[in-house]
Amino acid sequence: MISVLIVDDDPVFIEATCEILRLLGHSTDFALSVEEGLRLAAQKPYDLAILDIILPDGSGFQILDTLKSNEFAGHIAIVTGSPSLRSLTIELLGSDSSYLIKPIDLSAIRNLITRVEAGLHRHVEKPRRYYGLVGSSPEMQAVYGMIERVAPSRANVMILGESGVGKELVAKAIHLASRARGPFIGVNCGAISRELIGSELFGHEKGAFTGAFAEKAGVFERAQNGTLFLDEVTEMPMDQQASLLRVLETGQVTRVGGRQSLKVNCRVISASNRSLEEMAEGHHIREDIYFRLASFPLPVPPLRQRREDIPQLVSFFLDNLNAEYGKNVQIRDEELETLKAYSWPGNVRELGHVIHRAVLFTPPDARFLTLPNQFASPFARKTGDSMAPKLLGMPLKEAERHLILATLGTLKGDKKTAAEILGISLKTLYNRLHEYKDTNPEEVQPYLPVIENFPAPQESGDKPA
280-296 pLDDT, tens digit per residue, is: 777 788 888 898 998 89
Whole-number pLDDT of residue 84: 55
Q: pLDDT-derived band of residue 85, with 50, 70 and 90 as boundaries?
A: low
Query: What is the average pLDDT across 137-142?
Result: 91
Whole-number pLDDT of residue 299: 94
* CATH number for region 386-444: 1.10.10.60
One-letter amino acid identity for 269? I
Paired with 252 in beta bridges are 263
Residue span(s) of the chain under CATH 3.40.50.2300 come to 3-120
119: burial class by Cβ within 10 Å (0-12, 13-18, 19+)?
middle
Residue span(s) of the chain under CATH 1.10.8.60 come to 303-382
Whole-number pLDDT of residue 392: 52
Q: Is the peptide bond before 103 cis (omega within 30 degrees of 0)?
A: yes
Q: pLDDT-derived band of residue 239, with 50, 70 and 90 as boundaries?
A: confident
CB atoms within 10 A of CB 355: 23
Closest by CA to 177, choosing from 227, 127, 231, 248, is: 227
Residue span(s) of the chain under CATH 3.40.50.300 come to 134-299
Paired with 262 in beta bridges are 253
Q: Is the pLDDT of residue 136 over 50?
A: yes
Proportion of the chain in helix, strand, coil states, percent, rounded to 5: 45, 15, 35
- Using CA atoms, how far apart are residues 377 and 382, in angstroms rounded to an integer? 9
Whole-number pLDDT of residue 184: 94
Residue span(s) of the chain under CATH 1.10.10.60 come to 386-444
- Using CA atoms, how far apart are residues 390 and 394, in angstroms rounded to an integer? 7
Least confident of 90-99, 254-263, 343-352, 360-369: 90-99
DSSP 191: G
Q: pLDDT-derived band of residue 428, with 50, 70 and 90 as boundaries?
A: confident
Whole-number pLDDT of residue 124: 44
Whole-number pLDDT of residue 366: 81
* 250 in Cβ contact with 232 (< 8 Å): no
pLDDT digits (tens, 9 = 90+) for 178-196: 989 899 999 998 888 777 8
Q: Is the pLDDT of residue 44 over 70?
A: yes
Higher-pLDDT residue of 229, 81? 229
CATH number assigned to the domain with residue range 303-382, chosen from the 4 options 1.20.120.530, 3.90.226.10, 1.20.1530.20, 1.10.8.60: 1.10.8.60
Query: What is the average pLDDT across 366-372?
Result: 85
- Which fold would CATH assign to domain 134-299? Rossmann fold (3.40.50)
Least confident of 66-75, 128-137, 430-439: 66-75
Query: What is the average pLDDT across 35-60?
Result: 83
Closest by CA to 60, choosing from 91, 84, 17, 31, is: 31
Query: What is the average pLDDT across 241-259?
Result: 86
Q: pLDDT-derived band of residue 259, with 50, 70 and 90 as boundaries?
A: confident
Strands (E), 273-362: 296-299
Give the rounded distance of the alpha carbon of 403 from its chain centre. 25
The 3-state DSSP class for residue 350 equals: helix
One-letter amino acid identity for 3? S
Q: Is the pLDDT of residue 72 over 80?
A: no
Least confident of 103-117, 212-226, 375-389, 397-411: 375-389
What angle in degrees, to the nearest 10, is found between the helix axes of 415-422 and 426-439?
A: 110
Whole-number pLDDT of residue 444: 55
Paired with 79 in beta bridges are 52, 100
Q: Is the pLDDT of residue 173 over 50?
A: yes
Least confident of 290-294, 404-408, 436-440: 436-440
Paired with 158 in beta bridges are 270, 297
pLDDT digits (tens, 9 = 90+) for 309-331: 999 999 889 988 887 888 888 89
- Using CA atoms, how far apart are residues 58 and 37, in angstroms rounded to an integer? 11
Whole-number pLDDT of residue 120: 60
Per-range mean pLDDT, top range of 260-264, 326-330, 335-339, 354-358: 354-358
Q: pLDDT-derived band of residue 216, with 50, 70 and 90 as boundaries?
A: confident
* 198 in Cβ contact with 256 (< 8 Å): yes
Mean pLDDT (the chain) is 80
- Which fold would CATH assign to domain 3-120? Rossmann fold (3.40.50)
Q: Is the pLDDT of residue 159 over 60?
A: yes
Whole-number pLDDT of residue 450: 43
Whole-number pLDDT of residue 123: 44
Whole-number pLDDT of residue 79: 81
Least confident of 164-168, 270-274, 434-438: 434-438
Q: pLDDT-derived band of residue 83, with 50, 70 and 90 as boundaries?
A: low
Whole-number pLDDT of residue 164: 92
Whole-number pLDDT of residue 30: 92
- Using CA atoms, how far apart are residues 238 and 235, in angstroms rounded to an integer? 9
Query: What is the average pLDDT across 123-134?
Result: 67
